[in-house]
Amino acid sequence: MKNNKESCPLCNADLQGDSILKENQGSYKATHFTRKIGISDIERDRIVKWKCPDCKGEWAIQ
């Protein structure tokens, strides 16, 4: 199982969200949701950066 433990690179806030019920984990095998917010580019139809719900800082996807 993948643990979604991660933190904001700007304020170090814990971005691991609530637990996902085992029967709902599906093919991703993640154990928790994420709190980070994906910011998408409509023209490219994909997430291009993340936003922290605590400090509101944004960073590029690596």
Cβ atoms of 11 and 2 within 8 Å: the answer is no
Domain boundaries, the chain: 16-60
The pLDDT tens digits along the chain (62 residues) read: 455 578 999 999 999 999 999 888 887 778 899 999 999 999 989 999 999 999 999 999 87
pLDDT of amino acid 18:
93
Please give the model's pTM, rounded to 2 decimal places.
Answer: 0.80
pLDDT of amino acid 28:
76
Q: Kindly write down the DSSP assignment for every residue of 12-61, as one continuous string.
A: --B-EEEEPPGGG-GGGTBSEEE--EEEEETTTTEEEEEE-TTT--EEE-
Dist CA 38 CA 59 (whole Å): 10
Cβ atoms of 51 and 36 within 8 Å: the answer is yes
